[in-house]
Amino acid sequence: MSVATQDTAIRTGRVVRTLIYLVLLLFALFYMLPLYVMVVNSVKPLDEITGGGMMNLPQVWTFEPWLKAWSSAQIGVEPTGLSPYFWNSIKMVVPAVAISTVLGALNGYVLTKWRFKYDTILFGLMLFACFIPFQIVLIPMARMLGLMGMAGSTSGLVLVHVVYGIGFTTLYFRNYYAVFPTELVRAAQIDGAGFFQIFWRILLPSSGPIAVVSIIWQFTNIWNDFLFGASFAGADSQPMTVALNNLVQASHGVKEYNVHFAGAILAALPTLLVYIVAGRYFVRGLMAGSVKG
Amino acid sequence: MGFLDIDNTTKSYGAVEVLHKIDISVEEGEFLVLVGPSGCGKSTLLNMIAGLEEITSGEIRIKDATMNGVHASKRNIAMVFQSYALYPNMTVGKNITFGLEMHGVPKPERDNAMNDVAKLLQIEQLLDRKPGALSGGQRQRVAMGRALVRNPDVFLFDEPLSNLDAKLRVDMRTEIKKLHQKLGTTIVYVTHDQIEAMTLSTRIAVMNGGYVQQLGTPQEIYDTPANIFVATFMGSPAMNVLPAKVAIENGKPTAQVALHDGSLTSLPFSQDNMADWAGKDILLGIRPETITDEDAADRKSTNIAHMTNRIIVTEPAGSDTFVTMEMGGKDVIARMRSDAEVQAGADFSFAVNMEKAVAFDPETETRIVP
């Protein structure tokens, strides 16, 4: 009796499951369509695109657009390609991510393990930073950078992104450390470890998942930022996003769509890469602390 | 001057005083257990000795040196935590030697100390493992190893056995006691388990509501509890406390106690000074094991009272049978031999060892001292 019912259950399940997977596959294909368009058009000659074959596979495969986008396309007034701007972005992103993550970890450590009066209020205020729109800080920030003599420089951009990111990184690390057993810190205190020794030797080695979350989040946000880059960067410190805009918005000559597509993919590649390498830790880190065990 | 002195020490959080003028002096080699219900302040007191909580007023001294304001790492104490608090990212060996490393002990000495402790606790084969790969009992040993390796003046244990299952807890209890006898170190041990307190300690401080209710040897605490709280907290099942009236019969003071049907029985006191309370109400404290069947009455006792009362419930527990009856309007538990022929609903003849009975003043709830 029970065996029979179980059988039917599986059979109906199979039909429904096939349907579900079909629908999911359709959605997935639809979702992948832009990527398909970008990749396909970045490897075909320009006349195939202007001829109206946007969706077709290339008849002649060429990597010329990629090379051009990287090293010789006209960006603004110089035919440099995107490569110098790519390095500009790297020079901005790496220190900004590193500094904001370390500061966030330190903040989280202090806010949970070295509690002081009004620490929750301070944390609440820091959380506000997560909700401040970019536009609001543009003009005051420009003035501050000017006063500090950092206007138009990479270090100025790093500072802006660090300040803006601390709210998020502090939130991550504080919540992660809130469930980190305080007895461990006390044991280390009795063992004679100091403030930074406890941080480096006890807390940080256990912070892998949340550090990955913080790094991915900060990397993606800072790499993809356009507004701060466009507003505060000088001619020789413009990040990739601004350069891509200048490439695509160029008002003279023929619009080389294939080069634009290749450039856009180049600009998106690093964040994609970060997700692929560390993505599974991302979910694990976001879930950490929410479930016991 | 003891080895560890807690002198008039209080602790306040803002305006709230949670520990009130604690005065305890511990001799070298003593095993002091702080016992009490949750929130009685025992862990706070331990943390103050450890230097993890500040002392609001008063003084704590170790070897006659004041510890007020001295950092936890400089007090030469070691602590075993309830959750063991092993560093998850370090191997067992690293866990044990971390404190020595922080104190600047060179590596060869650290390794020697680690090997000695590992041998003592039989955890040599675990030294390269991470704490996550250990069982509860093994973690407990490592936590003790981490404390032992420092060779501290005072060991502090914060409910170290409460995370273990029942059987392991008994084993580790014996282990701790053996360790104490072998090393002769001074130990302050916090627990809420009165059996741990009784079995391990050389002295017990029973705490409640931020006060030390009584400080004494396990025997003193058990036989002559200072008040009703101590009497009912220590011992399992708890001491029976029932209302009684003092009367003089044949020139001797007796307690008049109502039985299940309202009739009175006379239980003669061994303490002559109870005559002063003639005609007054008191609370009578009788331990369950002092109420037995006639055959099992203590032959050495000079004061066995007899009474017949109805049995309400019997609870055979294998080694003993617990019998519930009504006296003075309260449920009273007697601990009988397992082969005593008791039956629920039947009348039974009980023997009460009144030598062990204690009387409490119902006003102050303190024991009436003979």
Three-state SS across chain B? CCCEEEEEEEEEECCEEEEEEEEEEECCCCEEEEECCCCCCHHHHHHHHHCCCCCCEEEEEECCEECCCCCHHHCCEEEECCCCCCCCCCCHHHHHHHHHHHCCCCHHHHHHHHHHHHHHHCCHHHCCCCHHHCCHHHHHHHHHHHHHCCCCCEEEEECCCCCCCHHHHHHHHHHHHHHHHHHCCEEEEEECCHHHHHHHCCEEEEEECCEEEEEECHHHHHHCCCEHHHHHHCCCCCCEEEEEEEEEECCEEEEEEECCCCCEEEEECCCHHHHHHCCCEEEEEECHHHEEEHHHCCCCCCCEEEEEEEEEEEEECCCEEEEEEEECCEEEEEEEECCCCCCCCCEEEEEEEHHHCEEECCCCCEECCC
User: Is pTM beyond 0.80 here?
Assistant: no
Q: Is residue B49 situated within a structural domain?
A: yes
Number of structural domains (chain B) is: 2
Together in a domain, B221 and B332:
no
Say which CATH number the domain at B65 has.
3.40.50.300
Together in a domain, B140 and B271:
no
Given A29, A50, A71, the domain boundary residue is A71
pLDDT at A234: 80
Give, to the nearest 10 degrees, the angle between helix B107-121 and helix B92-102: 130
Given A50, A71, A92, the domain boundary residue is A71
The CA distance from B77 to the nearest CA of chain A, in Å, is 8
The residue of chain B with its CA nearest to that of A114 is: B52
Number of alpha carbons in the 13 Å side-chain half-sphere of residue A22: 6
Contact B73 A202 (CB under 8 A): no
Together in a domain, B269 and B165:
no
Say which CATH number the domain at A149 has.
1.10.3720.10
Q: Is residue A34 situated within a structural domain?
A: yes
Together in a domain, B62 and B209:
yes
Q: State how far the alpha carbon of B306 is from the alpha carbons of A12, B256, B293, B297, B313, in Å.
A: 77, 13, 9, 10, 20
Q: Is residue A292 situated within a structural domain?
A: no
Q: Is residue B31 situated within a structural domain?
A: yes
Together in a domain, B13 and B30:
yes
Together in a domain, A65 and A105:
no
Together in a domain, B135 and B247:
no
Q: Is residue B317 situated within a structural domain?
A: yes
Q: Is residue A187 situated within a structural domain?
A: yes
Together in a domain, B134 and B273:
no
Average pLDDT (A243-261) is 80
**What tens digit of pLDDT does each residue of A10-68 get?**
566 778 888 999 999 999 999 999 888 888 888 888 877 777 777 778 888 888 888 88
Q: Is residue B332 situated within a structural domain?
A: yes
ipTM, 2 dp: 0.76
Q: Is residue A77 situated within a structural domain?
A: no
pLDDT at B284: 92
pLDDT at A293: 35
Q: Is residue A78 situated within a structural domain?
A: no
The CA distance from A192 to the nearest CA of chain B, in Å, is 5
Q: Is residue B120 situated within a structural domain?
A: yes
Together in a domain, A269 and A178:
yes
Together in a domain, B37 and B122:
yes
Together in a domain, B219 and B244:
no
**What tens digit of pLDDT does each residue of B239-265 get?**
999 999 999 888 889 999 988 888 888
Together in a domain, A24 and A58:
yes
Together in a domain, A44 and A102:
no
Given B233, B249, B282, the domain boundary residue is B233
Number of structural domains (chain A) is: 2
Domain of B227 in residue numbering reads as 4-233
Together in a domain, A163 and A277:
yes
Together in a domain, A61 and A92:
no
Q: Is residue B152 situated within a structural domain?
A: yes
Q: Is residue A262 situated within a structural domain?
A: yes
Which pLDDT band holds residue B34 (cuts at 50, 70, 90)? very high
Domain of A142 in residue numbering reads as 83-287
**What tens digit of pLDDT does each residue of B305-333 get?**
999 999 999 999 888 899 999 998 889 99
Q: Is residue A76 situated within a structural domain?
A: no
Which pLDDT band holds residue A70 (cuts at 50, 70, 90)? confident
List residues of B whose CB lies inside 8 A of any A CB.
50-52, 71-74, 77-79, 81-83, 85, 87-89, 98-99, 102-103, 146
Together in a domain, B180 and B49:
yes
Q: Is residue A186 situated within a structural domain?
A: yes
Q: Give the closest of A186, A188, A190 to B78, CB-based.
A: A190
Which pLDDT band holds residue A244 (cuts at 50, 70, 90)? confident
Together in a domain, B152 and B27:
yes
Look up residue A28 and give its two tokens: 């997935």
Together in a domain, B342 and B227:
no
Together in a domain, A250 and A123:
yes
Left, alpha or beta for A197 (phi > 0: left; psi -120 to 50: alpha)?
alpha
Together in a domain, A130 and A246:
yes
The CA distance from B202 to the nearest CA of chain A, in Å, is 26
The CA distance from B1 to the nearest CA of chain A, in Å, is 25
Q: Is residue B367 situated within a structural domain?
A: no
Together in a domain, A122 and A258:
yes
Together in a domain, A182 and A215:
yes
pLDDT at A191: 86
Given B201, B233, B265, the domain boundary residue is B233
Contact B82 A183 (CB under 8 A): yes
Average pLDDT (B55-83) is 87
Together in a domain, A62 and A134:
no
Q: Is residue B223 situated within a structural domain?
A: yes
Contact B83 A181 (CB under 8 A): yes
Given B212, B233, B254, the domain boundary residue is B233
